[in-house]
Amino acid sequence: MTDIEELKAHYLVAIDACAGLEALETVRVEALGKQGRVTALLKTMGALSPEERQVKGPAIHGLREAVTSALAARRAALENVALEAKLAAERVDVTLPVDAILTGSVHPVSQVMDELAEIFADLGFAVATGPEIEDDWHNFGALNIPDTHPARAMQDTFYLEPQARAAGDGHSPSSDGAGQAGPAPFVLRTHTSPVQIRTMMQQQPPLRIIAPGRVYRSDWDATHTPMFHQIEGLVIDRGITLGHLKWTLETFLRAFFERDDVVLRLRPSYFPFTEPSAEVDVGFTIEKGKRVIGGDPNGPGGGWMEVLGSGMVHPKVIAACGLDPAEWQGFAFGCGIDRLAMLKYGIDDLRPVFEGDIRWLKHYGFAALDVPTLSGGVGTA
């Protein structure tokens, strides 16, 4: 018994004296390893008589538990010391300037998407998304654009292989109008308006959403590409008027261009899915030889520039989504995100936006820490 107590005291002192994890592991192996001294004592238990086991058993087990507990406590203490030393050695001063050479850049389109989400979130809008491959009904039919409507040709659609549809599915009426099964074309969505339809069918009003994302049309020139980015907004509620639409667009554009002198002009227009419809122009002026949004459009060098389309949601669109147009009204608007980026950041040609030229990205890109905020400015931080 005296030997057991002396062995216990020896290992407790040895464990406490360990200055590192390697030394602690050496002590553990010496005590509790396969050939360890504590392990050897445990192995003698089988050769003891019942009377001896009753006397020595608790002492030997107590020795093992004391050594095990001391090892665990010392290991935790040494690991904490090692962690603190590592944290002290690897500490980074976050107030130092970021080394631009070692960082990538945020694409201006991605930056503008974040700016738009920040602005509309402050106005109470949620972000909604949907598939980029759409069926004919969500992309056209539900938006009051029937099979023979000229707006289909205007959108220069990429059609995919027709798929058989079940008769009476209620979403893709056959061309003969009799509800018979027939080919249902799928398309690369030409706008993000199908997201509005899906949201109105899946959620109960009131609704306030924006739908940003990629869209596709068969175009290619200085201001058009086959794939581009669009954002649309939708509000569905009771008692919605054109006044709500104008205030929302005015607030949005002033926040986006970061100028309080942005002036809007709504021109009557036509869209199948809104009635009445309006093209939205913003006033611009010439500053330092460049056209900028804001200021007096009627002054020297000033003028108007179209930036988006808008209108009150057509009653047929509201009804197609299962809502009563006599109870629910709304407005919608849409614009090209790439177009907004060009206007705000002085990009002259749309095509390089998608070419991936690293020199272009270094010139127009944003640092990763240029996070848009309304308090700090939604442009560069």
* 153-186 pLDDT, tens digit each: 656 677 777 654 443 344 444 333 333 345 567 8
Distance of CA 283 to the CA centre of its chain: 32
- What are the pLDDT digits (tens) for 13-50? 999 999 988 999 999 999 888 888 888 888 888 788 88
342 and 238, same structural domain?
A: yes
155 and 207, same structural domain?
A: yes
Task: State the pLDDT at residue 223.
Answer: 62
Do 323 and 205 touch, CB atoms closer than 8 A?
yes
Report which of residues 182 and 370 the model is more confident about: 370
What is the end-to-end Cα distance of the chain in Å, rounded? 74
Whether residue 79 is contained in a domain is answered as yes
Range of the domain at 239: 108-364
Place of tokens 């614009």: 335
Do 317 and 142 touch, CB atoms closer than 8 A?
yes
Query: Does the pLDDT value for residue 368 go beyond 60?
Result: yes
The Cα-based distances of 317 to 142, 170, 198 in angstroms read 6, 15, 12
Whether residue 172 is contained in a domain is answered as yes
Question: Average pLDDT of 253-274?
Answer: 93
Task: State the pLDDT at residue 170.
Answer: 44
Whether residue 169 is contained in a domain is answered as yes
113 and 84, same structural domain?
A: no
250 and 130, same structural domain?
A: yes
Whether residue 209 is contained in a domain is answered as yes
180 and 41, same structural domain?
A: no
Whether residue 306 is contained in a domain is answered as yes
Whether residue 376 is contained in a domain is answered as no
Classify burial at 227, counting beta carbons within 10 Å of its beta carbon; exposed 0-12, middle 13-18, buried 19 or more. Answer: middle
Whether residue 369 is contained in a domain is answered as no
pTM of the full predicted structure?
0.66
151 and 230, same structural domain?
A: yes
Task: State the pLDDT at residue 195.
Answer: 96
221 and 121, same structural domain?
A: yes
Say how many domains are in the chain.
2
Task: State the pLDDT at residue 122.
Answer: 93
161 and 23, same structural domain?
A: no
Do 310 and 332 touch, CB atoms closer than 8 A?
yes
Whether residue 347 is contained in a domain is answered as yes
Task: State the pLDDT at residue 221.
Answer: 65
Task: State the pLDDT at residue 376.
Answer: 67
Percent of the chain whose pLDDT exceeds 90: 45
Least confident of 151-160, 310-319, 362-371: 151-160
- What are the pLDDT digits (tens) for 122-144? 999 999 999 999 988 898 889 98
Query: Does the pLDDT value for residue 102 go beyond 60?
Result: no
60 and 195, same structural domain?
A: no
